[in-house]
Amino acid sequence: MSIITISRGSSSMGKAVAEQVAQKLNYQLISREVLLDASNRFNVPEIKLEKAIHDAPRILEKYRHSKQSYIAYFRSSLVERVIGGNVVYHGLAGHLLLKGIPHVLKVRINADMERRVAIVMKRDKIPAPDARARILEDDKQRRKWTQSLYDQDPWDTSLYDLTICIDKLSVENAVDYICLAAGTEEFKSSEKNVRKAKDMSVACRVKASLVEEFPNISVTCDYGNVLIYMKGRDHMIGKLSKKLNNIRENISGIHHLETHAGVEPPPDAV
């Protein structure tokens, strides 16, 4: 009942690895479906969501907060999708968006640059310099995205449980190692892990329902006790309080709901 996230640079054969792992373990493979889910659930055009989780925020977006909203929607949909376990997710920032769920096996697939260039040349029918430039630009965008939103570098190996470079190791080797790791006790779902995943799902749903109006809130959920952290105390608090009843009624799994204004949110807050 593991959850596996496979993060990869573009054209690094991460998709092939993810497909084979899912097939070998008989797990569900998800990627773009999360976008569709989020688009349907939150009534946001898919293209906007895709841009939000791919491109780094521009200067104005940092103030418009639309990206935070789209990412909250995406994260909520992703958590809902993986909560049942037996899932392989390959896509952007799975390791960051699912941070807080203990039994997630976080994998990073890298590939030798020449091999990546060859793949892009073949796929897009472009010369080597163009293919290299395209890969570098894509890597730069992804690095900027994670750095601007999570202050992390996607190439930092300490973010992952397993980092595999497809060069001397083949895709098949990578699949074997991942499957072996997924069978480790730490990545099996336990009652405690499932509860944490459910709590996170509740926190994500609460955040998604409030983020548009209150982009700076952070949410935690522990045993169904939801805490909404808000910076400072201002007129927004009264406005937020009015929304709480609605949230209690519409989101299941909430035992208690409280707003902590002016209190620093814990690092694991959504």
Partner 1 sequence: MEPLTLDMILVMSMIGLAIFLFIVEWVRVDVVAILMMVTLPLLHLVTPKEAFVGLSSNAVVSIIAVIIIGAGLDRTGMINKLVAPVLRIAGNSSSRIIIAISVTVAIISSFMQNIGAAALFLPAIQRISKMQKIPLSRLLMPIGFSAILGGTITLVGCSPLILLNDLLAPFNLEPFGLFDVTPIGLVLVVSGITCFVLLGRFILPQGEPMDGGESDSAISPSASSDPSKSDKDQTEFYELRTPDDFTDYRDPVFVEDLRRRYLLNVVAITEPPDYKVISPNPDVEVRSGIDLAVCGLKKDVLRMASAEGMHLKDNLEIYKDSLSTQAAGSVEVVVGPRSAFAGKSLKEINFQDRYHVTPLSVYRQEETYRAQIDDIVIQVGDVVELYGTWKRLTVLHKEGGLLFSLPSDAEEMRPEKTLWAGFWLVTALVMIMGFKIQLSVALMTGALGMILTRVLSIDEAYQSVDWRTIFLLAGLIPLGIATEKTGAAAWIAHSILSFIGDVSPIVLLTVIGILSTMFTLVISNVGATVLLVPLVVNMAIAAHTDPRMAALVVGLATSNSFMLPTHQVNALYMGPGHYRTVDFIKAGALVSVVFLVVMIAMISLVYGI
Q: Which of 130, 156, 172, 264 binds partner 1 (CB under 8 A)?
A: 264
DSSP letter, residue 265: P
Q: Which stretch binds partner 1 (CB under 8 A): 30-38, 157-165, 171-179, 225-233?
A: 225-233
Question: Scanning residues 237 to 256, which ones bind partner 1 (CB under 8 A)?
Answer: 237, 241, 255-256
Distance in Å, CB of 256 to partner 1, minimum: 6
Distance in Å, CB of 245 to partner 1, minimum: 14
Distance in Å, CB of 201 to partner 1, minimum: 17
What is d(CA 33, CA 59) in angstroms, rounded to the nearest whole number?
29
Distance in Å, CB of 223 to partner 1, minimum: 4
Exposure string over 125-157, b if 16+ CB within 10 A, otherwise e: eeeeeebbebbeebbeebbebbeebbebebeee
Distance in Å, CB of 24 to partner 1, minimum: 32
Q: Is 225 in the site for partner 1 (CB under 8 A)?
A: yes
What is d(CA 187, CA 82) in angstroms, rounded to the nearest whole number?
13
Q: Is 260 in the site for partner 1 (CB under 8 A)?
A: yes
Q: Is 233 in the site for partner 1 (CB under 8 A)?
A: yes
Distance in Å, CB of 65 to partner 1, minimum: 21
Residue span 139-178 as binding mask against partner 1, x where in contact by CB under 8 A, dash where not: ----------------------------------------
Q: Is 227 in the site for partner 1 (CB under 8 A)?
A: yes
Q: Which of 167, 186, 213, 258 binds partner 1 (CB under 8 A)?
A: 258
Query: What are all long-range contacts of 47-53, with beta carbons under 8 Å and residues at least 24 apart?
Result: 49/73, 49/74, 53/91, 53/92, 53/93, 53/145
* Closest-CA residue to 223 (of 260, 180, 191, 245): 191
Q: Is 263 in the site for partner 1 (CB under 8 A)?
A: yes
What is d(CA 179, CA 105) in angstroms, rounded to the nearest whole number?
10
For partner 1, which is the closer residue by CB, 78 or 240? 240
Distance in Å, CB of 222 to partner 1, minimum: 6
* Closest-CA residue to 30 (of 40, 44, 48, 15): 15
Tokens, residue 5: 């996230």
Helix (H) / strand (E) element for 160: namely: none
User: In which residue are the tokens 């907060």 written?
Assistant: 65
User: In which residue are the tokens 């009942």 written?
Assistant: 1
Q: Which of 136, 179, 181, 261 binds partner 1 (CB under 8 A)?
A: 261
* Closest-CA residue to 15 (of 132, 237, 175, 228): 175
User: In which residue are the tokens 């070998």 written?
Assistant: 24
Q: Which stretch binds partner 1 (CB under 8 A): 123-131, 142-150, 166-174, 258-266?
A: 258-266
Q: Is 266 in the site for partner 1 (CB under 8 A)?
A: yes
Binding residues for partner 1 (CB under 8 A): 192, 220, 222-223, 225, 227, 233, 237, 241, 255-256, 258-261, 263-264, 266
